[in-house]
Structure 1
């Protein structure tokens, strides 16, 4: 009930972004009514989710056009996301407008990230999930175009990552994807597994376990939803967690721990 009220009121006041805020705020109140208070501020959480989605669609447009051509795979990726979010035709049009806005060569994405950081910047995991999501999208065709990589580096800077930290995260995400896609070969798999966890063969068992637990904590669904990741986008984090688990299981098997 609150979800529907939130969408209507939010849309009348603020349009698409208001409807998104109303949807997530109403959904929170519906859950709170059913399960009890969780101590979070639902309006603040809903605002984070709305800004997260706005930043995602604009960034997807900017990334898709980074190499000068928007591929069908990239368009399909946006369509899949909108279906998962259950958008109405009107909201789909506005989400597509955000995508096209980001794809405009004259559009400066920096103010979008200034807004994101002002509202979501205090949550490290939220920033990382956004960056991981964009890396996964840019790497969907199996490689990075130089312009895509340059844009990701710039986005990482907006989010507070230096180049070394970004490269470390990039290496982890790409190697995690080998396990999710079943691409890791027997000869290369163990090396990929260490990279997926951000450790090396020289790391101790305790260091590896600590890295694994830290990653799994970062991708915990309840934690991410509490910080502002929309529920329907938790699947991205869930897939990353599965890949991390597979990598860790291989390391344990190899080491006999």
Structure 2
């Protein structure tokens, strides 16, 4: 039973408002304890940043999948494909499936889940962005994004401190990556998509291209992300992201004749 919210709420309330303040503080503390209890099912006992990242990823994924009104076979296949890509098996796969199911439940509290994740990830912007990019990637894995899915992604982005403009930029970059993969390799990839992966245009200078490349590689460095809280099981996603950035940069360099 979680009681510390009530204890602190009562004490602080009494200090500032005596009996009335204590009662108000006790009630607010009760709400806090209740919310923590609800989140414990998603975060898990003895949770750390990696556990929270892992469970929140699949819970929010389940919620996004439910956005259209019901979870389709395609949604389940996409989630399973990500689990396969991460080579999840045994307890790790069961944990991912459990979190996904909690996220698609009608009483899932998306805001509370995201606030908890953001609080524990405070000061680790690269980690938070990686989380948002995973949600974008899974939402667009079928090549489509309906209005309800976009609305939830916007809510997720806002709760994590991203504006609509920043979300749209990330969506544009991932769409370019999607095209990048479909094209079958660097030589077949359009130069426009290569620039979009880097968040650039052909009008940018060589120096801007180099700066953007270094920044993106630093943000998506697998070892750094794991040190900040990315689950080891998800390192493969960071590696793939870094490979896409490198391939796009190589394509732009080739087109410009850069060294």
Q: With the length of structure 1 as denominator, give the TM-score of the two structures.
A: 0.76
Aligned residue pairs total 217
- Are residue 18 (structure 1) and residue 20 (structure 2) matched? no
| Partner Cα distance (2:211, 2:188) in 1 | 25
Aligned equivalent of 2:51: 50
Is the contact made by 1:184 and 1:192 (CA closer than 8 Å) also made in structure 2?
no
Give the direction of change, closer, same or farther, for the CA distance of 1:253–1:222 in structure 2 (3 Å limit). Answer: same
Paired with 1:126 and 1:94, the residues of 2 have a C-alpha distance of: 21
Larger Rg: 1 or 2?
Answer: 2
The counterpart of 1:88, out of the listed 71, 87, 90, is 90
Aligned-partner SS, 1:66: helix
2:62–2:103 contact (8 Å) kept in structure 1: yes
Question: 1:17, CA displacement in angstroms?
Answer: 2.2
Structure 1, unmatched stretches of 5+, are: 1-13, 22-46
Q: Structure 2 length as normaliser, TM-score?
A: 0.76
Gaps of 5+ in 2: 1-39
Aligned to 2:238: 237
Instruction: Report deviation, 1:94.
Output: 4.6
Counterpart residue number, 1:75? 76
> In structure 1, what is the Cα distance between the partners aligned to 2:95 and 2:252?
45
Partners of 1:243 and 1:50 lie apart in 2 by 26
Whether the 8 Å contact between 2:154 and 2:167 is mirrored in structure 1 is yes
CA shift in 2, pair 1:159/1:124, >3 Å: same
Provide Cα deviations, 1:8-34, integer angstroms capped at 9, x if missing partner.
xxxxxx888237x5xxxxxxxxxxxxx
**Alpha-carbon distance change, 236 to 188 in structure 1, aligned in 2, over 3 angstroms:** closer
CA spacing shift, 1:82–1:180, aligned 2, 3 Å: closer
Supply the RMSD in Å over aligned alpha carbons: 2.4
Change in Cα spacing, 1:256 to 1:81, as seen in structure 2 (3 Å) is closer
Q: How far did residue 185 of structure 1 move?
A: 10
Q: Which residue of 2 aligns with 1:221?
A: 222
Secondary structure of the residue aligned to 1:18 is coil
What's 1:181 paired with?
Answer: 182
Deviation at 1:240, TM superposition (A): 1.5
Equivalent position of 2:36 in the other structure: none
Mean alpha-carbon deviation: is it higher for 92-101 or for 223-232? 92-101
